[in-house]
Amino acid sequence: MRIQPLIAAAALLLAPSTIAGAAQLPFAVAEARVETIEREQVFDAVLEAVHRATVSAQTSGRILEVNFDIDDYVSKDEVIVRLRDQQQRAALDAAEATLAEAQASFRRMQDLLNRDLVSRSEFDKAEAALLSARAAVEQARDQLENTRVRAPFSGIVVERHVEPGETASPGQPLMTGLSLEQLRATANVSQPYVDQVRQRGQARITLPAAVGEEQQVVEAKSITVSPYADSESHTFRVRVDLPDGRHGSYPGMFAKVAFTVGEWERLLVPSQAVVHRSEVTAVYVVRDGSISFRQIRVGRDHDGMTEVLAGLSDGEKVALDPIRAGVYLKDVRAGEAQ
C-alpha cells in the first residue's frame, strides 16, 4: 500500500543540484517505505517505588540506638534500631532451663518405659513437655533477635518515627524506607484505550534526563491494569514495572509511558539518514539525477528506523551518510558555480 505525499507547510526544499547518476554517488542510498508498525498512545506518569515498607517493633523495650536517619542508604539486613534486651535474655535463660529439665525428665521416662515401670500416657506427657519447652526456647530466641530490628531490603530511609530513649511496644512503627532498585510508573489511562492496553500488555517508559543527557527509554517488565475506573476521572490506574536495577530515576519523578494500542502504516527511513541541525530535521534526497536537502517532520524511532510524518514520499531515496552527502552537495554546487 502507498500513501499520498505528506508535505509540511514549513518544509524546506533547497534547489536541487544535478548529478551524473546514482551509480557515481560516494554514499549509499535507501528508499523510504511504508511499513506496518505498532501504534502507541502516550500518557503522563509518575514514578514510585515497588517496595516501600514501614518496619514496626516485634517486641517491647527501651530504644537504645537508632542507627540511620532520613535520606540515609541502608543495606538489607543492617540493624536500623536496637532495643534493650535484658528482659528477652532473661526469658531465654528461663526457657533454656525449662528445656534442660524437660530433657532430663524425658530421658528418665524413656528409661522407665523401656522397663515397663510407667504407662505410655505418662511417657507421652513427658514428650509433650519436651516439645513445648523446645518451642518456648525458639520463641524466646526470636524475641531476643527482635531487639535488633533489621532492614527488610536495601533502600533509602524516608521516615523516622522514634528516638533513642523512647519505649517501643509490639506493632509500633519505627522507620519507613523504600527501594530504588525496583520502580514502576503509574499512569491514568482513559477508557477508549484500556482494553487494548490490557490485551497487548506492552509499553515503553521514557525516563527523565539530566541536563545535557539524552532521555532513556526502557521496555516495561510487566503491566497491571486496575479492574475498575476512578469514579471522578473515569480513567483506569495502570502500573508499569520497570526492569530491575538503577536507571538514574527516583520515586516522585515525572515520566511518559507509551502503551501499544494497535497497528498502523507509517512511512519509515533509516534513522542514520536523518539530520538534526538546531531546530531543523531533514534528509538528503536523491531523485531524478539531483540531490537536495529537504526538511521533514518525524515521529518516533523503531529499531533503527524513523517515522516520517511529512516531507517525504514512499519510494523516494535518501542518503545513508548525511555528512558525505552534505560535502558532496557542496562540491556539486561549487562546480555548477564555475
What is the residue-wise DSSP string for 280-296? EEEEEEEETTEEEEEE-
pLDDT category at 12 given cuts 50, 70, 90 is very low
**Residue 321's pLDDT is what?**
85
List the CATH code of the domain at 17-37+265-337. 2.40.420.20
pTM summary value: 0.64
> Which residue, 49, 33, 43, is CA-closest to 252?
49
pLDDT, tens digit, 9 for 90 and up, residues 128-155: 999 999 999 999 999 999 999 999 999 9
Q: Which whole number is the average pLDDT over 16-43? A: 75
Model confidence at 18: pLDDT above 70? no
- Of residues 80 and 332, more confidently modeled: 80
**Residue 302's pLDDT is what?**
79
Q: Which whole number is the average pLDDT over 223-235? A: 93
Domains 59-83+147-178 and 85-145 belong to one CATH topology: no
pLDDT category at 336 given cuts 50, 70, 90 is low
Q: Which whole number is the average pLDDT over 60-73? A: 95
**Residue 338's pLDDT is what?**
60
pLDDT category at 189 given cuts 50, 70, 90 is very high
pLDDT category at 20 given cuts 50, 70, 90 is very low
Across the chain, mean pLDDT equals: 87
Model confidence at 187: pLDDT above 50? yes
Q: Phi and psi at residue 183, in whole multiples of 5°?
A: -120, 160
Cα separations in angstroms, 105 against 125, 138, 280: 10, 20, 91
Give the Cα separation of 178 and 196 in Å (integer).
32
**Residue 330's pLDDT is what?**
81
- To 5 degrees, how large is the angle CA 195–CA 199–CA 203? 95
The CATH architecture assigned to 42-50+184-262 reads Beta Barrel (2.40)
Class (C level, CATH) for 59-83+147-178: mainly beta
Per cent of the chain over pLDDT 70 is: 91
Q: Which whole number is the average pLDDT over 290-318? A: 88
pLDDT category at 245 given cuts 50, 70, 90 is confident
CA torsion sign for 131, 137, 143, 145 is negative
Please report, to the nearest 10 degrees, the dihedral formed by the alpha carbons of residues 130, 132, 133, 137 taken in order: 140
pLDDT category at 204 given cuts 50, 70, 90 is very high
pLDDT, tens digit, 9 for 90 and up, residues 93-129: 999 999 999 999 999 999 998 988 889 999 999 999 9
Lowest mean pLDDT among 3-12, 54-63, 132-141, 259-268: 3-12
**Residue 62's pLDDT is what?**
96
The domain defined by 85-145 folds into Helix Hairpins (1.10.287)
pLDDT, tens digit, 9 for 90 and up, residues 248-278: 788 999 999 999 998 888 899 999 989 998 8
Tell me, rounded to whole angstroms, the distance of Cα 97 from its chain centroid: 52
Q: In this structure, which amino acid lies at residue 232?
A: E
**Residue 150's pLDDT is what?**
96
Name the grid cell of 227: 479492574
pLDDT category at 335 given cuts 50, 70, 90 is low
| Residue-range domain boundaries for the chain | 17-37+265-337, 42-50+184-262, 59-83+147-178, 85-145
Model confidence at 202: pLDDT above 50? yes
